[in-house]
Structure 1
């Protein structure tokens, strides 16, 4: 199971919402996420999905469940059940 987006979301949630939820906490969490993605290909599908999960976490969302539905050996459809706020 690929839990990459879960950890992006959770890390950003923790950085903002387990701290003081200040504008500075949000700015720093975003800057760290942006720097990490800039080291990869920021236009890649994976990087864009990471950034959506990062923002969802900073905004207070919590990804509570991942369900993989295998389509074939090379691709999956990932259903994300979102909860929280």
Structure 2
């Protein structure tokens, strides 16, 4: 059995994930997502891949976009943030980045009840970002999203 080289910083990842979830739940801006379902899903489907360099980088970058989305609180911008989270995850080095990005995206959709049409749109945005698409060109103005990536605010 092949073992991943363990960096001390990677050993902190499970604690960071718990801290992240506590922060998200405390913010109260996480929508109708069921965070217990999300964490079980990610743990079951990604497991040890989260501890690989590529996996931990992908998870961290996706979380960064989740935080940016919550801070901006812009209407009609969720597709842009889905796309960017996956795009940034793919810019990580390491072989497990794609799988971790796929798992996190899938588990986010599974844990969030809602409109099937919206879910399909989110999944398409996730794939577009993972495949290197231009998220800004596709999902900002054409979707009526007023988020400005340069300022991090919801105004052009």
TM-score bin, normalised by smaller chain: 0.5 to 0.7
Q: Structure 2: which 5+ runs fail to align?
A: 1-74, 145-156
8 A Cα contact 1:42 1:48, kept in partner: no
The partner residue of 1:25 within 97, 101, 125 is: 97
Name the SS for the 2:102 alignment partner. Answer: helix
Alpha-carbon distance between aligned partners in 2 of 1:61 and 1:21, rounded to the nearest angstrom: 20
Pairs within 5 Å for 1:5-24? 5-17=79-91, 19-20=92-93, 22=95, 24=96
Please identify which structure carries the higher helix content.
2
TM-score by length of 2: 0.39
- Tell me the C-alpha RMSD between the 2 structures: 2.1
Higher relative contact order (CA 8 A, sep 6+): 1
Shift >3 Å, 4+ stretches: none
Q: How many pairs are equivalent?
A: 68
Deviates more, 1:55-64 or 1:37-46: 37-46
Note if 1:4 corresponds to 2:78. yes
TM-score by length of 1: 0.68
Please identify which structure carries the higher strand content.
1
